[in-house]
Structure 1
């Protein structure tokens, strides 16, 4: 288990390029199973979760070739479906939550799909009902082996058939999985209350370039006309908006002047304005974000009636839940108070005890709400030794450590590596004092 040793309290300076989007990559990589033709994908992030999925696809028989930094070709013309019943698949599939999205493409193309109960972040219960209820609506038969904790779906002999469905929740991975199953189904599928995040839009655009017929892209009402087969294509993954938000938070907390390059502004939604609610100055320079040094700190806004600022997550176009941990840690040095309301996951605020140990003023009201009283940089956070519980809490603790006086150690950094590419070297390039230790 690796660790980071961080000497905090230093100001950073320079520019940083965001990696390709983790959440998009997991969807796009599963979509290569929908065709026997070659697919080229660019800007794939070199992170643990994505690399695990690429290994799973390779074990399934997908021909994978790396053609450059972040660029790969995939060809699924001779798959080994027996792998789905192997012990190795149980290990590969259960170690990555994103593996659930291979089920839709396999069901669509081969009439059956299996997956062990996926792993991933320990951030509370994350139901898979949306995925399988969608498959059932398309005519698939569902089964779950409680002893082996193994899910399976099988299409009827005459194949999947399009259907109308109203999703109980706007699940991003659930919507993606259902779309990938529906593109090869007979007839029309209508999905209402579909997720419409940029990464879902990217998946739909990629599938359409492969010959799918998906309408309503970018809205919560999708219409899919099934086609008989899909062809190959070339696709480029968006910059990771969660990493972009992480660098905004890092610049503010360390009072550093940082430029985030090539962010694809039109896909950031409410993210810039949500950080502005904490008083952070965000300047658009072409397609870059420039954060000036906040030498005088930053002040939390209040609502029109003077009540305490409340920042909460919501499905797109609301504020992504993956950035609430960043907002919370940035608020610890703001001027003023803010209520952080994590609505979508039940355990994501359970890392605040580590920030409190560092001297932050945080009241954990319940599993979903925390009130943060900012220090206004009048007192700094204290260096400490801690462990990363999940990806987003891990990067938040790293930001806290970089702003704290003294030397901190963060253990279990594999959690950070799951979502952030080569993070220590990239941070060193802008002046961070961080070392990877055994």
Structure 2
């Protein structure tokens, strides 16, 4: 097991090119199963979760070709081996990657059945799969659960998949993606209300349309899909990762550094820049680049009635839950106080005990809420030894360590590698003192 050794307190500077979006590419890779023709995908990040999904696709029989450009691959799913889905190998590989659940929609649409082991992934709380399976059932699939084998399964009956109206219980991004990928090849019209509408889901829908799908309402929470007979190949470029962009903003603020983040796709960032501005952080636009200037201090705004600022997560276009951990860390060195309200996952704030050990002033009110009293950069955090519980808490602890006085050691950095490409190499390039051991 590797660890990061970090000496904090360095002021950083330079340019950063954000990686391709992890949450988008996991959907896009699953969609290659919807055609037997080649699909070329560019800007794929070289991270553990994505590489694991590519390996699963190869084991499933997908031909994978690495092209010359960075993160440029061509996939062709013309010889799928369905037996792999109920093998011991897939039980191990699929359970280790929660995103592999999105293989089910395309496989159900193309081959009439799909299986999935009980998923693993982050230890951030329970993530229900009901939305996925209820959507498949609405389209005419039958649900199966192999009790002894720990496999979930869906199979299509004699009538095949047929379009239906459905009102989703929750606007699940992966659930919406799975249902959309099943519905594009179903017979008739499918209407999905309370659909997720994140930019990454929009990207998936736009790619499917280029492949020949008929999808209306892209970008809204009401999707109307007319099923088609088959889809063709296409090319697709993955958006920059908005979560990583937010992480770099947090790093600049905590280390009093000026950073330029290149090609951020401003139109797809939603309210993310505004939330950081409400924390007092200057976020400037220069073309499609983002400049975060060096700031000695930043002051948290209050609401118009003078009450304490609350930052909470919500389905898009609300604030993404994946950046709440970053916001919490930033607030530890701000001037003022803020309430962080994590609504979606009941264990995601439990990493704050590590920040408290570093000297942060945080009151964990309950599993979903934490109040942060900022230190205004007057008392730096102190280095310590800690372990990364999940991807987003891991990068947040890494940012805290890079701003802290003294040496820090972070264990279980494989969690960070799941979502961040060559993070130590890229940090060293802008002046960070970090080594991997």
Taking structure 2 as the reference length, what is the TM-score of the superposition?
Answer: 0.99
The alpha-carbon deviation at position 159 of structure 1 amounts to 1.1
Equivalent position SS for 1:46:
coil
CA distance in 2 between counterparts of 1:190 and 1:167 reads 10
Deviations 1:123-160 (A, max 9, x none): 01100000000000000000112322210000112210
CA distance in 2 between counterparts of 1:72 and 1:117 reads 29
- Written as runs of structure 1 = structure 2, the 5 A alignment for 1:317-356 is 317-356=317-356
Aligned match of 2:361: 361
Equivalent position SS for 1:235:
strand
Greater Cα offset, 86-95 or 320-329 = 86-95
Deviations 1:309-337 (A, max 9, x none): 00000000000000000000000000000
Aligned match of 1:102: 103
Aligned match of 2:140: 139
Asked if 1:14 corresponds to 2:14, the answer is yes
Deviations 1:209-252 (A, max 9, x none): 00000000000000000000000000000000000000000000
Aligned match of 1:275: 276
CA distance in 2 between counterparts of 1:412 and 1:279 reads 32
- Written as runs of structure 1 = structure 2, the 5 A alignment for 1:361-380 is 361-380=361-380
Equivalent position SS for 1:201:
helix
Aligned match of 2:35: 35
CA distance in 1 between counterparts of 2:426 and 2:208 reads 33
Equivalent position SS for 1:41:
strand
Equivalent position SS for 2:208:
helix
Equivalent position SS for 2:67:
strand
Aligned CA-pair RMSD = 0.5
Aligned match of 1:314: 314
Aligned match of 2:259: 258
- Written as runs of structure 1 = structure 2, the 5 A alignment for 1:156-195 is 156-195=157-196
Aligned match of 1:392: 392
CA distance in 2 between counterparts of 1:384 and 1:146 reads 44
CA distance in 1 between counterparts of 2:102 and 2:120 reads 13
CA distance in 2 between counterparts of 1:121 and 1:141 reads 29
Aligned match of 1:244: 245
CA distance in 2 between counterparts of 1:351 and 1:71 reads 35
CA distance in 1 between counterparts of 2:388 and 2:335 reads 27
Taking structure 1 as the reference length, what is the TM-score of the superposition?
Answer: 0.99
Aligned match of 1:199: 200
CA distance in 2 between counterparts of 1:4 and 1:351 reads 17
- Written as runs of structure 1 = structure 2, the 5 A alignment for 1:110-149 is 110-149=111-150
Show structure 1 runs of 4+ deviating over 2 A: none
Aligned match of 1:431: 431
Long gaps (5+) in structure 2:
none
CA distance in 2 between counterparts of 1:156 and 1:162 reads 14
Aligned match of 1:299: 299
CA distance in 1 between counterparts of 2:209 and 2:119 reads 28
Equivalent position SS for 1:58:
helix
Greater Cα offset, 317-326 or 145-154 = 145-154
Aligned match of 1:404: 404
CA distance in 1 between counterparts of 2:264 and 2:6 reads 27
Deviations 1:154-185 (A, max 9, x none): 01122100000000000000000000000000
Equivalent position SS for 1:310:
strand
CA distance in 1 between counterparts of 2:426 and 2:65 reads 26
CA distance in 2 between counterparts of 1:115 and 1:185 reads 21
Aligned match of 1:70: 71
Count, aligned residues: 436
Aligned match of 1:231: 232
CA distance in 2 between counterparts of 1:418 and 1:54 reads 13
Equivalent position SS for 1:419:
coil
Equivalent position SS for 1:143:
strand
Deviations 1:287-312 (A, max 9, x none): 011001002x1000000110000000
CA distance in 1 between counterparts of 2:389 and 2:238 reads 27
